[in-house]
Amino acid sequence: MNRTKVRRALVSVSDKTGLLDFAAKLVAEGIELIASGGTAAAMRAGGLPVTSVEQVTGFPEMLDGRVKTLHPRIHAAILADVGSSAHRDQLYKNDLAPIQLVVVNLYPFEEGVARQDITDDEAVELIDIGGPTMVRAAAKNHKWVGIVTSPEQYAEVAQAVTEGGLDDRLRLDLARQAFYRTARYDAAIVGWLEGLAGDVPERMMLALDRASELRYGENPHQSAALYGERGKTSWWGQARQLQGKEMSFNNYLDAEAAWRLASDFSEPTAVIVKHANPCGVASRDTMADAFFAAWECDPLSAFGGVIGLNGRIDEPTARLVVENFVEVVVALSVSEGAAEILARKKNLRVLVAPAPRGDDLDMRRIENGFVAQRRDQVAKTQPGKLPDAWESVGQRPLSTDVLIDLRFAWIVAAHTKSNAIVIAKDRAAVGIGAGDQSRVGAAQRALAQAGDRAYGAVVASDGFFPFRDGIDTLGGAGVVAVVEPGGSMRDEEVVAAADEHRMAIVFTNTRHFRH
């Protein structure tokens, strides 16, 4: 195995974490350090000997630092194939010595554009030019050069240097990581520029890191892994798992569904999800009461479900959770006493996570491609007040209590697979028909689940009623109000049916299909 002994190292880093300790180890091995601007200043302040890039190139930094390392005396030293006599002769004739180690981390473009207050001009200045050029040059010439792109690599590289040099395996591994680093950096820039051009980008480049391998996919015979977009944050990436078994493929999908729905409410709300559909949702003044009411919606389906609680798990809530069979609980926080109670169920997965942002692209895989859309979001409404876009189109007036329940049911319906019918009463779902092929079928399923609780309840439908039969079915069960998008060719018939059943009816003028 060939080892490259390091005699000269070029260092140019934006993130100076661990820099002085790493550079000191290189100096201790007799390695000449060459560094640009701020990196050179930091090493000098740390008492380390360093040669500036300007001393090597004979050319000053210019254009506010946009041009520093873009010079033949730098890149020839990195790109030289020292196994070639012709390359060695050209280095000698130009009084150049090869560089065996390049240490570069890039301007923090990804972190910068994630800020809400960044200007376009500031973002442009965070686009690194010289850094990626050096990284790619060193990675191309990995037969002779090691390329370090992250402080996380310092320890391994320093150890290799002290043991005589960088071996073939290490240089190749560093090059692989380096080209991925420049690829994902370019992907972030493309994403930002495309975002300036329009709502749905014309081009997309995804840089994905495997966050973890999963035991299997939806079924045991399917291999699976969890991936995250590099440079972006997610609620699950910031979540802390307090206890329980590892999360599975299905757990992540159900937890995503539960957590997004729970986070759409401001009042204490509990959500129970099974197979990516809510089977219980309730809002109450306390989290324990919300969980109890959510479980009462459909206890049979809730068995083995995934729970989203949009607040703190206290001891009363924890006691209710452990009384039932639950796979996963996601919450904003867990009290110390509640954590002790939940620990009685060793296999129960408990996650503490921030609320999802919900403004990313929703992408679905199809063969050799994707369909993508802006993620659907339910317009925020004030409880008890008719939103501006909503129209009361029937004869029955709307009371404050009915409006509160309509708003509640509408949010739940937006998170339920189409066709979706949600029956709600006193800020709790009492019947949910999800994923049915017909809207009247969804209504029948929801009514079967609600039973007598449908009397005096309200209904939300994610799409319009194409015929009056759905309204007739609900009205016959004693439903007092319906909220739906409107827009059917037979809206007049639907409204007339609601009037016949003395039901209030509201058109939102927005639908929330979910496939």
Same domain, 327 and 403: no
Residue 418 shares a structural domain with residue 467: yes
pTM of the model: 0.77
Percent of the chain with pLDDT over 90: 47
Q: How many domains does the chain have?
A: 3
In a domain, 512, yes or no: no
Same domain for 497 and 436, yes or no, is yes
Tens-place pLDDT, residues 378-398 = 877 676 677 888 999 999 999
In a domain, 41, yes or no: yes
Is 477 contained in some domain? yes
192 plus 59 within the same structural domain = yes
Q: Is pLDDT at 358 greater than 80 in this prediction?
A: no
120 assigned to some structural domain: yes
126 and 21 housed in the same domain: yes
Cα separation, 84 vs 105, whole angstroms: 29
SS3 state of residue 33? strand
The domain spanning residue 171 has which CATH number?
3.40.50.1380
Give yes or no: residues 187 and 262 share one domain: no
For 74-81, the CB contacts below 8 A with 24+ separation are 74/10, 74/99, 74/134, 75/133, 75/134, 75/137, 77/8, 77/10, 78/10, 78/102, 78/134, 78/137, 78/138, 78/141, 78/145, 79/137, 79/140, 79/141, 80/141, 80/144, 81/141, 81/143, 81/144
pLDDT at 1: 66
Q: Is 330:239 a contact under the CB 8 Å cutoff?
A: yes
Q: Is the pLDDT of residue 374 over 70?
A: yes
How far is residue 371's CA from residue 341's CA, in Å, rounded to a whole number?
Answer: 44
Confidence of residue 362 (pLDDT cuts 50, 70, 90): confident
In a domain, 346, yes or no: yes
Q: Are 148 and 101 in contact (CB under 8 A)?
A: yes
Residue pair 308/265 in contact by the 8 Å Cβ criterion: no
Say yes or no to pLDDT of 85 above 80. yes
Give exposure, 133-159, as e/b (b: 16+ Cβ within 10 Å). Answer: bbbbbbbebbebbbbbbbbebbeebbe
113, 187 Cβ separation under 8 angstroms? no
Q: Is pLDDT larger for residue 187 or for residue 273?
A: 273
* Domain membership flag for residue 233: no
255 shares its domain with 145: no
- When pLDDT is cut at 50, 70 and 90, the band that residue 68 belongs to is low
Same domain, 75 and 187: yes
Which of 230-234, 419-423, 433-437 is predicted least confidently? 230-234
Within this chain, do residues 393 and 290 fall inside the same structural domain, yes or no? no
> What is the mean predicted confidence (pLDDT) over 342-370?
86
179 and 33, same domain (yes or no): yes
Question: For residue 370, what pLDDT is reported?
Answer: 80
Active site residues: 140, 275
Domain CATH for 283: 3.40.140.20
Residue 53: its pLDDT value, please? 76
In which region does residue 95 sit, left (phi positive, over 0), alpha (psi from -120 to 50) or beta (all else)? left
Q: Are residues 323 and 439 in the same domain?
A: no
Identify whether 122 is part of a domain.
yes
Chosen domain end from 197, 214, 231: 197
Which residues have CB under 8 Å from 212's CB, separation 6+? 225, 226, 246
Least confident of 38-42, 322-326, 432-436, 501-505: 38-42
Helix and strand totals (H; E) in the chain: 20, 23
**Is 369 a domain residue?**
no
Measured distance CA(2)–CA(284) in Å, rounded: 68
Token duo for residue 98: 């090869």
Do 41 and 148 lie in a common domain?
A: yes
Q: What is the pLDDT of residue 161?
A: 87
For residue 436, give its domain range. Answer: 384-507
pLDDT average, residue stretch 414-438: 93
Q: Which long-range contacts (CB under 8 A, 24 or more apart) does 194-202 make?
A: 196/120, 199/374, 200/361, 200/372, 200/373, 200/374
